[in-house]
Amino acid sequence: MATYEEVKDVPNHPETYLFDVRNEIELKETGVLPASINIPLPDLEKALNLPNEEFEQAYGRAKPPTDAVLIFSCKAGGRAARAANLASTLGFTNAKAYAGSWTEWQAKEAGN
């Protein structure tokens, strides 16, 4: 599991990937995590199977290598856990969910 501190530090670690698997409308309602890439959960398997060039064209970032740290976030953690499991089944060895996801992020950011 990824922690709030780890997610907050992602902008300082370009080798780490933070994927927000919420739907686009949810992002518009709440906001986005800094340095995150939005790939809604229903699109995740297709996205992670894209050839490198197509992934970069679609998401503006190089496709992660299978040993990269991948952190998945959603609203409350359920979809993030499913996304991390999916990435693991696709061969990504360092996939993990941010259990608190947007709910924890928003609460902690509001307290800062």
Structural domains of the chain in order of their starting residue, each with its CATH number = 4-107 (3.40.250.10)
**What pTM, to 2 d.p., does this model score?**
0.96
Torsion 61-64-65-67 (CA) sign: positive
At residue 97's C-alpha, the angle toward residues 94 and 101, to 5°, is 145
Q: What is the pLDDT of residues 23-67, one digit of tens each?
A: 999 999 999 999 999 999 999 999 999 999 999 999 999 999 999
Please list the active-site residues.
Answer: 74
How confident is the model at residue 19, as a pLDDT?
98
Let me know: does 102 contact 27? Beta carbons within 8 Å: no
How confident is the model at residue 111, as a pLDDT?
80
How confident is the model at residue 106, as a pLDDT?
94
